[in-house]
A and B are shown apart, each in its own frame.
Chain A
């Protein structure tokens, strides 16, 4: 298994050191991790609490037969393992087809970790492995996850997968591991480099432009302006988790 020594990882730990939830993370292996934290605390690195990353999905533009976001996610994050039982395979993002039972109207949309402001997965995680960065991105520290799967029970969106087998081909920027739980990271390793998540890019390349990524806190951002203009929905808004992923058209 590869040790995470990439920039995103450092950014992750830098943020962890800032956020109260992450204090525990920094203390696991003081020698190794504290060095990483000190490097990461350089100006401009690490997550800022001024930012709240979010996504807006326009389901009217999302095509039922398109899977570009899912494919892009899998290749970006090195999700290539094949399991005999497909129910055991990791799916960070999936396409859901909806049909209104009464009107018969159909929708298609991608579903992934909703990066909740009040994430139940973080509340229930016994080891602080599930954590929320200052910029709202919810991650699993795969070095402290004990694989109890309690977060899977708590997540209302079925957003988490448990790694059921030994992994061989990994993207060094995206540490994954057998026996740990994982979910969409909003491509944190790309976001920390100023890029957008791979799924959003792929959706645009496929000329659907159904996904918009940006800072919900910045009133001038495209996403904040769209949310101010059009009617958007939070899935299971009744739970009041104030999710970071919003849907339009359902």
Chain B
């Protein structure tokens, strides 16, 4: 039986990465404190576009957190052996991404100091209120799940706990999608398709992040991921990217169908300047078509570099999509008086523009750094490295000679 062993990571590199990650995280938190003290006047946000870049990054991480757990679910809930050893890392990333995403959103609150009120005064008719319950339970379930995976004596419970976590995460992403789905006021958001769309997006974004982290860990440990395992996972990523593209297309097509939403969709997809650019160039081309090419085109597909590049591009495309969705949805004016031309001192009837300020950018990037730093520490102190028992996988028919 040949089990690949984790080799000890170089101490110097670890502490250097830790210092860099910690520093960028600290700068992000400092930027948030600056916004808190000065007020959001130092942000690019205003009374029309009041959810800005921090929401784009924060919601991305929260959605990806649920999706990254898919890897573990495929292993223990659906019994796919190749994914089993990846369960703990998948669980760790789920916790880390959710924590980082929530950190960004909370630090961007007008009164971040009152975050405890959010936990003690939960309004259950609010989708945000549900999330106050959904998120902590997710942390608990995934923590428990990692434990059942890593502690051999608890292995027997991993399927049950894993199934619970799997269901919970679908509910959680439904909750995230519903943050927007229940907004009747705005052309962009009220749509039943948002919840399933967010679930599919979470699968693609989560797996992309998993693949990036996995490749980095293998490279740092001077190990090689079995090419057939990589091929399996990259195929899955391709399926998720394709499905995400399909759902986004359906979302826009249904919007075009409803006359009321037509003009808004035209704005987002054709006439809205930066938004169509980010949608077509960012999400569709760089974030979906190019990755699909890298994952499937002969000569590229099996290559480690092309899978990693496809994963990075999927993440970038996801951020572009959320920017268009969140910022574009606010930039377009609400139609209070159909058939009328509207003007006011409060910019009614006007398309707004948004340029993130430096503190917002630092906070957003800082959130990613928080996730990076937590992952770094996590994989250092516990054995999260996926250890493939290649011989066993071969005899089970998962891998071929």
Contact = CB atoms under 8 A, between A and B. Distances in A.
Interface of A: 24, 27-28, 70, 83-91, 94-102, 107, 111, 120, 123-129, 144-150, 152-158, 160-166, 178-181, 235-236, 239, 250
B184 A83 contact: no
B122 A146 contact: no
Contacts of B128: 124-126, 148, 150
A27 B121 CA distance: 9
28 contacts: A24-B121, A24-B123, A27-B121, A28-B120, A95-B345, A97-B344, A101-B340, A111-B348, A123-B125, A124-B125, A124-B183, A126-B132, A127-B122, A144-B114, A146-B114, A146-B117, A150-B126, A152-B47, A153-B51, A158-B47, A165-B39, A178-B110, A179-B36, A179-B39, A180-B110, A236-B336, A239-B185, A250-B337
Minimum-distance CB pairs A-B, first 3: A147-B110, A179-B110, A156-B185
Interface in B39-55: 39-41, 45-48, 50-51
Contact of B117 (A99, A127, A162): A127
Interface residues of B, number: 52
Contacts of B347: 87
Contacts of A86: 345
A140 B50 CA distance: 17
Contact of A145 (B110, B120, B185, B189): B110
Contacts of B342: 96-98
B39 A158 contact: no
Contacts of A145: 110-111, 114
A148 B129 CA distance: 12
B350 to A, nearest CB: 10
A88 B40 contact: yes
Contacts of B129: 126
Nearest to A235: B336
Among A84, A87, A94, A129, chain B packs the most CB atoms within 10 A around the CB of A87
Contact of B183 (A99, A126, A153): A153
Interface in B180-197: 182-186, 189
Contact of B41 (A85, A146, A181): A85
A99 B342 CA distance: 7
Among A94, A123, A149, chain B packs the most CB atoms within 10 A around the CB of A149
Interface in B340-362: 340-348, 352
Contacts of A179: 36, 39-40, 109-111
A157 B336 contact: yes
Contact of B126 (A91, A126, A164): A126
Given A153-B189, A162-B45, A181-B110, 4 more contacts: A87-B347, A97-B342, A158-B48, A179-B111
